[in-house]
């Protein structure tokens, strides 16, 4: 089967309709081999970031403006998930990402410089969940960040959209919800479950807030 799957497998269609099933099996194998959801947001260190990665600081805006990683954009989690836990409309979130110059096609690295490491990881992973669901192509999560690396002021988003965020919302991971509020922990747990190779994991998002 492996020796037949590939360019030669496609060619056999022209010689025998009987082998069409083999071609379809090969195609199905290709789909199964695609990158899993968990591979979309690995934890990486600063010195191993791919070139042209965009840094996203999702901590408090004041903290980001005061000290962040060089070149980082300030997109606070509480702009997407209010302090009372009320989810923003996905349309508004995507508009917000456009004010940061994002289209969804970029590779981004998310971090938070919260005072407590556990809180920083929670903010980082909650924001990762939002970016992932919004359709961001590749989301990396930064691991330990030395304090001395926070040597620059983060850049705030623009007052209006400067790019059109055109990534496709990952609706297959969304299910309707009646409540309009959610804790950051729920988003972090959603990412943790996907990270544990549980592709069937869904996140409850208010129906009226998904368009």
Query: How many domains are there within the chain?
Result: 2
The CATH number of whichever domain residue 41 belongs to comes to 3.40.250.10
Residues 6+ apart with CB under 8 A from 189: none
* Residue 149 pLDDT > 60: yes
Range of the domain at 23: 1-34
If asked whether residues 41 and 123 sit together in one domain, one would say yes
**Residue 116, pLDDT score:** 53
CA atoms within 13 A on the CB side of 107: 13
If asked whether residues 4 and 75 sit together in one domain, one would say no
| Residue pLDDT, tens place only, 5-62 | 443 333 333 343 333 333 323 333 333 334 566 677 899 999 999 999 999 999 999 9
| Residue pLDDT, tens place only, 65-102 | 999 999 999 999 988 886 677 777 888 899 999 999 99
């Amino acid at each position: 089967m492996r020796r037949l799957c590939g360019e030669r497998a496609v060619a056999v269609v022209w010689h025998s309709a009987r082998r069409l099933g083999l071609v379809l099996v090969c195609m199905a194998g290709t789909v199964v081999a695609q990158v899993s959801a968990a591979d979309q947001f690995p934890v990486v260190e600063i010195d191993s970031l791919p070139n042209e990665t965009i840094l996203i600081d999702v901590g408090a805006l004041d903290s980001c403006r005061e000290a962040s990683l060089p070149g980082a954009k300030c997109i606070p989690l509480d702009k997407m998930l209010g302090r009372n836990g009320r989810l923003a409309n996905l349309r508004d979130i995507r508009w917000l990402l456009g004010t940061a110059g994002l289209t969804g096609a970029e590779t981004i690295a998310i971090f938070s410089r919260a005072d407590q490491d556990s809180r920083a990881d929670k903010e980082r992973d909650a924001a990762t969940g939002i970016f992932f669901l919004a359709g961001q192509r590749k989301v990396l999560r930064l691991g330990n960040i030395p304090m001395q690396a926070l040597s620059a002021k983060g850049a705030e988003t623009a007052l209006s959209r400067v790019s059109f965020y055109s990534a496709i919302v990952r609706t297959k991971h969304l299910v309707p919800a009646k409540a309009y509020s959610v804790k950051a922990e729920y988003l972090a747990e959603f990412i943790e479950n996907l990270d544990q190779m549980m592709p069937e994991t869904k996140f409850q998002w208010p129906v009226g807030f998904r368009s």
